[in-house]
Chain A
């Protein structure tokens, strides 16, 4: 099946800093999503982005499908951005596969 690698596994930021999270995948995809899970377990889906670029407030994402990676940008980070960011991909009709996540800690 498709392999998904997220980096870095852990990231500590000072409030106000910017960050880039990466998701590499091993095959062509027809579905790529970014999710955020806060420290209390609540999930939010951030972007559906199998290709191209999207922006939503301080967050933006870019997927370069031909090079098999996606980037999630967080600008002016806030403590509420803390949690785990997951990338999930699907290739064809195969299972939606999640990466292991990047744990982000934003400190005041």
Chain B
């Protein structure tokens, strides 16, 4: 089956620094990638949708200058949390799809747990 990896699986950083999270599709070409955020013991929030080679589409209320998303190739998308603060601590999950259609399956990465001290 399709595999999506995320790196790192967990990261601790100091307030004010930036953190980059990578999402890779290992055995298929990801036309579309999605980034989600999950607060501890809470529900999920879709942050943005990105298509290879174009700018990401951010959901309402998500700061695009704070959460920089780059989908540079058909196998790699990155999320950079800029000037991180403790309230950015969360579980970040990416998913990838071979098409732009929601009818097709999304394959999820294992998530990255970010702790900002």
The chain A residues found within 8 Å of chain B, CB to CB, are 31, 33, 35, 41-45, 48, 86, 88, 94-96, 98-101
Contact = CB atoms under 8 A, between A and B. Distances in A.
Contacts of A99: 43
Nearest to B103: A48
Q: Which one of B43, B59, B91, B105 has the greatest number of beta carbons of chain A within 10 Å?
A: B43
Contacts of B46: 88, 95-96, 98
Interface residues of B, number: 19
Q: Which one of A44, A45, A48, A94 has the greatest number of beta carbons of chain B within 10 Å?
A: A45
A84 to B, nearest CB: 9
B108 A42 contact: yes
Contacts of A88: 44, 46
**Chain A: interface secondary structure?**
strand
17 contacts: A33-B102, A41-B93, A42-B110, A43-B44, A43-B93, A43-B95, A43-B108, A43-B111, A44-B108, A45-B105, A86-B43, A86-B44, A94-B60, A95-B46, A98-B43, A98-B44, A100-B42
Nearest to B110: A42
B61 A95 contact: yes
